[in-house]
Structure 1
Amino acid sequence: MINSYTQAFAHRLSGRANAWAAIRGGQEYPRLLGTVKFFQTQAGVLVLAEIHNLPYEQGPCENSVFGFHIHEGRSCDGMTQEEFSAAEGHFNPDGCPHPAHAGDLPPLFANHGYAWSAFLTSRFTIRQVLGRTLIIHGSPDDFTTQPAGNSGKRIACGEIR
């Protein structure tokens, strides 16, 4: 028997998202693109990400895990010390240590450059993240290093609308 949450989530995903972000790669990854959709539910925010053309090398030891976070900033601009620097740091309204920031999301696991992920979170509401940025990092989050998990450089960004 299918759980009532499963039925509700499946129905919700077939509808219109409450918010979304168009993801675009930086200068090194101009073909990287995707969408992240946000659905408000009674149980929390259901997040659905679909990303294409993530970097990968063929072979048994390819890096196919990427850090994925909501950031404080409201723009994907910037080229000071790193691309997308206007995205600022992780969204962390409660001042929690990493990986308990509201913006710390599950990593993206890619399959030959393609990643699809869906998860439920109660760490934020859609209203709290509207206008903020999503960042994909070039390395996996280690869930330990402060302040941001040592996820490497920012390779893609999108603004939540």
Structure 2
Amino acid sequence: MKLFATTSLATALLFAAPAFAQDATPAPADAPTPTAAPTEGAAAQTADGMEPVTVEMKNVDGGSAGTVTVTPTPHGLLLAADLSGLGDGERSFHLHETGLCEGDFSSAGGHYNPTDKEHGYMAENGPHAGDMPNFTATGGTAQFQTFNPMVTMTGGEAPLNDADGTSIVVHDGADDYTSQPAGDAGDRIACGVVFAAE
């Protein structure tokens, strides 16, 4: 009998606990609606306060060569390309050290390399922060995504939004991932400014 009474009391307290835990006073009508705290991933994703940037790519004649959307994530930058007017074949695709696309696009400078690495995925002391995989154009167009974990929009060792800005350059050949300083990738055929030079 004693055991039954103890069990009944425990059950009653268990069901009553939520009522004791809640404030019985109703909230004012104009009180803000509480929101859930962001998860660690969501907080990290917006930590630099940056939104995705859509880069307008231009060819050497000034015509449109499509777009590249650069999206910050907690682990690097995701680049989604929708390119056109390239001719067919394998092409290379890099981040360059200066946010300026003029003339033959030599104004964009060399590959983005703030950590002083060698060029190429196959280099022992590589790659550059701006090195990215080749892609293939078919019918003069290419739609693809690539992820670069070595760069950020702001902060860290390799921020794109620095004093020199940053650009994206497409070359008319494939990067061999070993040759210095730029993978023997050929002429620059398209360029777009991610962040303009100050």
Match of 2:105 among 78, 84, 103: 84
Percent pairwise identity:
35
Deviation of 1:89 (Å) = 0.3
Root-mean-square deviation over aligned CA pairs: 1.9
Structure-to-structure mapping, 1:45-84, within 5 angstroms: 45-56=77-88, 64-78=89-103, 83-84=104-105
Match of 1:34 among 45, 51, 66: 66
Aligned length: 134
Q: Is the 8 A contact 1:108 1:116 kept in 2?
A: no
Deviation of 1:43 (Å) = 2.8
Unaligned runs of 5+ in 2: 1-41, 43-49, 121-126
Deviating 4+ runs (over 4 angstroms):
none
1:110 equivalent to 2:137? Answer: yes
SS of the residue corresponding to residue 160 of structure 1 reads strand
Q: Distance in 2 between matches of 1:31 and 1:160?
A: 17
Unaligned runs of 5+ in 1: 1-7, 9-15, 57-63
Match of 1:129 among 141, 160, 163: 160
TM score, norm. by length of structure 1: 0.76
Deviation of 1:32 (Å) = 5.1
Letter in 2 for 1:112: G
Alignment partner, residue 19 of structure 1: 53
Q: More strand per residue: 1 or 2? A: 1
Q: Is the 8 A contact 2:66 2:84 kept in 1?
A: yes
Q: Distance in 1 between matches of 2:193 and 2:177?
A: 24
Q: Is the 8 A contact 1:50 1:117 kept in 2?
A: yes
Q: Distance in 2 between matches of 1:104 and 1:123?
A: 9
